[in-house]
Every structure is written in C-alpha cells, then in structure tokens.
Amino acid sequence: MNRGDGGLQSTAQHLFHGLAPSYDSVLEYVTLYQDRYWKKFLLEEADLKRGFKILDLACGTGVLQDYIAEGDCEVVGLDVTERMIRIGKEKRRRGEANSLVVGDAESIPFGDKSFDVVLSCYLPKYCRTDRMADEIQRVLKPGGRLLLYDFTRPRGFLAPFHAFYVYGVLKLLGVIAGRTSRELEFTFKKLPEIIRESTWDQTLPEVMLSRGFRRVGKRVLSGGVVTAFWGTKSPTSP
C-alpha cells in the first residue's frame, strides 16, 4: 500500500494498521475466497522464470509470496504499513524475513533497473498513478514486466450484484465487526468509499504507455470486482 497524499495517506495507514493482525483470513472472507484465484491468474500471466528478482508492492503480510515457488525466484516485499511487515516477518524464516521492507510505492527505496518483475495486489486505488508508474518504470530492468490488480467500481451486467456487495455487504460487515473491533469497523466501512471514488483503472493504461510500457493488457476478473493490468518496459527505456 502507498502513502499517497493528504487524507488518503492517513486513511490508508489507519485502514491497514488495524487490519494487519487478521489480514490473511479477512482477505479470504472479504473477497469470498476469490483472491486466491486472482493471485494465481497474476502469476500465470507473469510466467516467472528461475532466477528472476521480483518486487511485490503493497505486499501486506506477504500473502502473494506464499504462491511463488520456493527457491525459484528472489522476492522482495514492500509495504508502507510497518505492522504488516512485522507480522509478515513473524510468518517467515530468518532469510525470508529480511526480504520484507517498509517503504512507499511512490518513492521505492531500491536502485534503478533492480527487478525483472513488479507485482502488486490492491495498490493503485491508494496511489497517484503517474507517480506509481514512474517509480515502477525506474526500478524495472529493460524488458521487465509490471502486473497488478485492484478493486474497481461496479460496471457491466453484473454491476448491480457487485454494487450490492461492495456498498451493502461490506458496510454491514463493518457494523458487525464494530461490536468487537473499532479498527475492523473502520476498514469495512471505509473501503467501499475508496473503491467508489477511485478511477485508477481508467487512468493507468494511458499512464503506462506514456512511461514507455508496451504490450499493455487488461483482464476484468470475477465480473468486474477487480481488474488486472500488465505491461512490459521497453527494452530501450533508460
């Protein structure tokens, strides 16, 4: 997750700080167990090769890393929420724990041309897409790939059902969660507002193309609940 600017920065940090201890299980429940399929789709599309160095932006507690075959690639996770990173380190062995870093996706603390692939789940709605794309383009090697997905506003023929879930069920879960956790109540009630206000999926393709990405692709998943994008940094990009 990214710190973004102004109120969104504070909201995002508050949202994920409270969610961190139960993030792994809540992620399954909130997505109706679809997240595992979205992650598998992302990794299939990425076609990772042995020896790749991968950056997992907005890594949370490292859930995506659990899907990547052990030993095949070097994976570095970056997340702005220190509590997420701390819990992620507790889940892992010593060597793996060192690959989880606190940092900002709009100011990635790694050198130019450091990674073969950048992956991300649920990041763009918290970012300025131009700043995020600039930083991802910078840390990718020429010919490297970006693949990500995030929630999008309800559209298409399934929009009424999607909208009912996002704007109705999630807020209801917030009311229920509020009986035991004020932090979870905030998370479930605020997330629908962030999804509704974000236009990241409309701006990202043009931004990627303007930053030298080629073969930009898109796939709507689960009837539009999330949208995935991917692209390849031009081999001639600086």
Sorted by where each begins, the domain ranges of the chain are 6-153+199-233
Question: Do 140 and 113 form a contact (C-beta atoms < 8 A)?
Answer: yes
Element of type H or E holding 26: helix 23-30
pLDDT (mean) for 107-122: 97
CATH of 6-153+199-233, one of 3.40.50.150, 3.40.1000.10, 3.20.20.80, 1.10.3720.10: 3.40.50.150
150, 126, 112: which is closest to 230 by C-alpha? 150
pLDDT at 164: 66
20-68 pLDDT, tens digit per residue, is 667 777 778 778 788 999 999 999 999 999 999 999 999 999 999 888 8
Tokens of residue 96, six digits:
């793996």
Q: How far apart are CA 54 and CA 220, in angstroms?
A: 24
Does this model's pTM top 0.95? My answer is no
